[in-house]
Chain A
Amino acid sequence: MNADRRDFLKVSAALGGAFALEFSFPWAARAAVEAAATEVNAWVVIYPDDRVVVRIARSEMGQGTYTALAQLVAEELDCDWAKVSSEFASPNEHVRRKRIWGSMSTGGSQGVRSSQDYVRKAGAAARIMLTRAAAARWNVPPAECTAAQGMITHGASQRKLRYGEVAGEAAKLEAPTEIVLRDSKDWKIAGQPVPRFDIPDKVTGKPVFAIDVALPGMLFAAVVQCPVFGGKLKRVDSSAISKARGIRKVVRESDFVAVVADSWWRANQALQKLKIEWDFGSNGAASSETIAAMLRDGLADPALPRARRVGDVPAALAAASKVIEAEYSSPYLNHATMEPQTCTAWFKADGFLEVWTATQNGEASLAVAAETAGLPQESVEVHKMMLGGGFGRRGAPQDFVRQGVAIAKAMPGTPVKMLWSREEDMQHGYYRPASVVRMKAGVDAQGKLIAMHTRVACPSILKVLVPASLNKEGIDFTAVRAFHDMPYTVPNQQVDYAMRNGHVPVGFWRAPGQQNSFYRECFIDELAVAANSDPIAYRLALLKEGDKNRLVLEAVAKASGWGNPLPPGVHRGVAIADGFGSFTAMVAEVSVSPQGTVDVKRVVVAIDSGYVVNPDTCRAQAEGNVLFGLGAILYQENNVKDGRIVESNFHNFRLPQIGEMPKVETLLVPTGGFWGGHGEAAILALAPAVCNAVFAATGQRVRSLPLKNHDLRLA
């Protein structure tokens, strides 16, 4: 990446003029004199030797977008894939060029699916412009020329020109307005399992992460925030460190204190010695119990807004042969990215602010940095580094950028790297909302679901992070997902939402609202058991012909060998989930030891995402979804006591170990015609598939997570 980054800096400097990046990147100082590249359009940069650099606006946290989007551009550009690399688009340039790269947000599994149209068109437009440039040079009609594999050929004369030879002329042409994109069946680069661009640097230790940034004279900051959310700083006694070596500053802000020192270890040691008084405000007595009571109270509210109403639920429940009820719940969950939150900021003498961070949204980081600094956005650059995990933590909340910039602002002229300890990271997240859901089902004489009333009580992510996205009744659709848009054909449905926010900040945790998939799909399993019906057959009977949920369910039934005998002690469960544009069905095979330990042995998942740009990274995402979800199923919870989060590090917020990773078999069954995502598809179905298998194994219906809180010893 280094060589290309050097080149990108040169290109950016040539284009933008106002860039001040001399040695902002640790490796930029080594820039060699190289022939200038040409920006054919905002997405496509071509070198005289035919190397192609694709600009990527979305972030890379291991999901593969950095490579997959380049595949889509290269597919339409029709160039030599071996000469393609990627570069992040600059957020500063993005602002100055009127958001030319579209959304930089990298969440909701949108990275590929929401940019595929315009990035493919950019690749195609560049190809057309290169072809026209070659035709003009030969003085022949463009229609007589073809472009392929980085070469333009004039059919009649067999003359050839390389892209790199005509890029300069192509860039001066008008962009074409009529663009026909290739049919996916003709793809040669897209659709292939090409290796990711970012892996070699990552496994050889190149400084690609925000935590790795090294700048001349850089200092280090450790941070402690008010342990109770919403509390404020009263006073700090720093006399214990006033004479300590290497300590440069104590930064006091309204809700955090930072020590700036010549090493992070020293800063963090000094932080422990400060005497800090906080005003905890009104939240100092909140606990998991008070929060659970708040949610249950919400369920009892007679006047809740409705997210969905179909048919007549009260009448249908009254007429039902049988009514089945259940209450399910989930705890708060931290993202626990392996790289704790970090941000390096540098107020330079020329009035320019540079920021290096791990962000899922470069332009959101830029906006927060500029606002905190009190500078116009044009005077700020955010260098998007590779993320050491994201999962939704680093998108909408930009608290780490606010802190990093506020600290550096107190040290003008000096770059400062702010890094959270794991404890700060664990206790100052934007947590997956705790929730409680009550479902009431009416079934007919055959046990078929004819009426369902669901009440959801949970904090609203949108209320905290994107309030404009709430509908006018105050419904947060991320809170009622899987219920308000349930694919099952149930003639009478009602979904009520009790927004109960509490004081714990909530956020988008990989597949927001996925708790509801756990609740719904386990409850459907309960109904299937009550009807004495096979859980797949029970679901199929509730799904319309042609529903894509059916197709993945049938695919996973076949691939998993549903109905075939399993080894002794192994049991299976199934679940379906549609979300983030994709359709997922999963079968989990589980054994439960006599001591009650759950071992998830095999997971078979079928995903229909419409199209598949890189099958290997899509499979990797399915594997990652399984592991990420498994931690939440087996071990993880964030409890609240005295207004603060109890868990502090990996000993009490456990991640599964390598030996706990199930065998994951991923079936990619793209049916075309729509674009779905992969970053969050498989996790939706995991908790219900596993818990339904646990029921098959033990007869115990698990209605709350994590499993460590349940005694699953065989009776």
Chain B
Amino acid sequence: MANYRLMVNGKEQVVESWDPNQPLLYVLRNQLGLHGAKFGCGLGQCGSCTVLIDGEAIFSCVYPVSAVVGKKITTLEGIGSAEKPHPVQAAFIAEQATQCGYCGSGMVMASVALLQEKPRPSNADVKSALAGNLCRCGSHDRVLRAVQLAAQGIPGKKGA
């Protein structure tokens, strides 16, 4: 059984995994108690499990735990809280940009990654960045508005 030293939300964590290919999602949820990233498809098809690896949005349900050693992992819990939301979370609340909310975690994380890369995205940029984040409830239009609202709130900001 191998140990993996991970940097999750700014904190070093040592996790065991008998299988180096165990996807990061299950380590986060079942071993580290971080439930922000959701299980939706298990095949990288829906985006519910999106987290940031060194600032880049990835699907954690297909990302092996052994591949994240030495990299900075950021989950929904790591960017803000209900009391002190990240600008993207605040914008999702302001636009009421989620219904059941299950895909919301992935939507927020993908939006954070986009805004770090492109602080003033066009709607086409947002649609392209969030194309892999499926939503069954139909919050899409509000998500677009929320990302634009967040973009106004974090002018030119890097590394949120």
Q: Which A positions have Cβ atoms within 8 angstroms of B? A: 61-63, 195-196, 198-209, 211-212, 214, 220, 245-246, 263-266, 269, 336-340, 386-391, 419, 421-422, 616-617, 620, 623-628, 631, 649-651, 655, 657-659, 661, 663-664
Quick one: closest B residue to A426, CB to CB? B41
Quick one: closest A residue to B31, CB to CB? A263
- Give complex CA distance A624, B99 in Å: 8
Quick one: closest B residue to A624, CB to CB? B138
Quick one: closest B residue to A62, CB to CB? B99
Can you name 7 A-B residue pairings with CB atoms under 8 Å?
A204-B76, A209-B101, A211-B39, A220-B30, A338-B103, A627-B140, A658-B143
The answer to whether B76 and A389 have CB atoms under 8 Å apart is: no
- Is B12 at the interface (CB under 8 A from chain A)? no
A residues near B42, Cβ cutoff 8 Å: 421-422, 649
B residues near A659, Cβ cutoff 8 Å: 127-128, 131
A712 shortest CB reach to chain B, Å? 23
- Report the tally of A-B residue pairs with Cβ distances under 8 A: 188
A residues near B141, Cβ cutoff 8 Å: 623, 661, 663-664
B58 shortest CB reach to chain A, Å? 17
- Is B119 at the interface (CB under 8 A from chain A)? no
The answer to whether A338 and B135 have CB atoms under 8 Å apart is: yes
A82 shortest CB reach to chain B, Å? 16
B7 shortest CB reach to chain A, Å? 18
A residues near B29, Cβ cutoff 8 Å: 264
A631 shortest CB reach to chain B, Å? 8
The answer to whether A657 and B38 have CB atoms under 8 Å apart is: no
The answer to whether A199 and B81 have CB atoms under 8 Å apart is: no
The answer to whether A207 and B35 have CB atoms under 8 Å apart is: yes
The answer to whether B100 and A655 have CB atoms under 8 Å apart is: no
A269 shortest CB reach to chain B, Å? 8
- When A and B form their complex, which 7 residue pairs have the shortest distance between CB atoms, in order from nearest? A627-B138, A62-B99, A202-B101, A205-B36, A388-B102, A62-B100, A624-B138
Quick one: closest B residue to A263, CB to CB? B30
A390 shortest CB reach to chain B, Å? 8
Known A206-B82, A627-B135; judge A212-B39 contact (CB<8 A): no
The answer to whether A203 and B104 have CB atoms under 8 Å apart is: yes
Known A339-B38, A620-B142; judge A62-B43 contact (CB<8 A): no
B residues near A263, Cβ cutoff 8 Å: 22, 26, 30-31
- Is B116 at the interface (CB under 8 A from chain A)? no
For B76, give its contact among A205, A246, A340, A631 (CB under 8 Å): A205
B35-89, CB < 8 A from A: 35-36, 38-43, 45-46, 48, 75-77, 80-82, 85, 89
The answer to whether A650 and B134 have CB atoms under 8 Å apart is: yes
- Give complex CA distance A391, B127 in Å: 25
- Give complex CA distance A200, B33 in Å: 19
- Give complex CA distance A272, B142 in Å: 40
B46 shortest CB reach to chain A, Å? 5
Q: Determine the interface band of chain B, counting residues with CB < 8 A from chain A.
A: 35 or more
- Give complex CA distance A269, B18 in Å: 12
Quick one: closest B residue to A390, CB to CB? B100
Quick one: closest B residue to A269, CB to CB? B19
A173 shortest CB reach to chain B, Å? 37
A residues near B46, Cβ cutoff 8 Å: 338, 422, 650, 655
B101-132, CB < 8 A from A: 101-105, 108, 126-128, 130-132
The answer to whether A422 and B38 have CB atoms under 8 Å apart is: no
The answer to whether B35 and A211 have CB atoms under 8 Å apart is: yes
B residues near A651, Cβ cutoff 8 Å: 43, 45
- Give complex CA distance A666, B145 in Å: 17
Known A265-B22, A620-B96, A624-B138; judge A204-B89 contact (CB<8 A): yes
Quick one: closest A residue to B78, CB to CB? A205
B residues near A204, Cβ cutoff 8 Å: 76-77, 80-82, 85, 89
- Give complex CA distance A657, B129 in Å: 11
A residues near B93, Cβ cutoff 8 Å: 195, 199-200, 203
The answer to whether A63 and B101 have CB atoms under 8 Å apart is: no
The answer to whether B127 and A658 have CB atoms under 8 Å apart is: yes
A residues near B41, Cβ cutoff 8 Å: 422, 649-650
- Is B148 at the interface (CB under 8 A from chain A)? no
B residues near A208, Cβ cutoff 8 Å: 101
A598 shortest CB reach to chain B, Å? 17
A217 shortest CB reach to chain B, Å? 13
- Give complex CA distance A616, B139 in Å: 12
- Is B14 at the interface (CB under 8 A from chain A)? no
- Is B137 at the interface (CB under 8 A from chain A)? yes
The answer to whether B40 and A422 have CB atoms under 8 Å apart is: yes
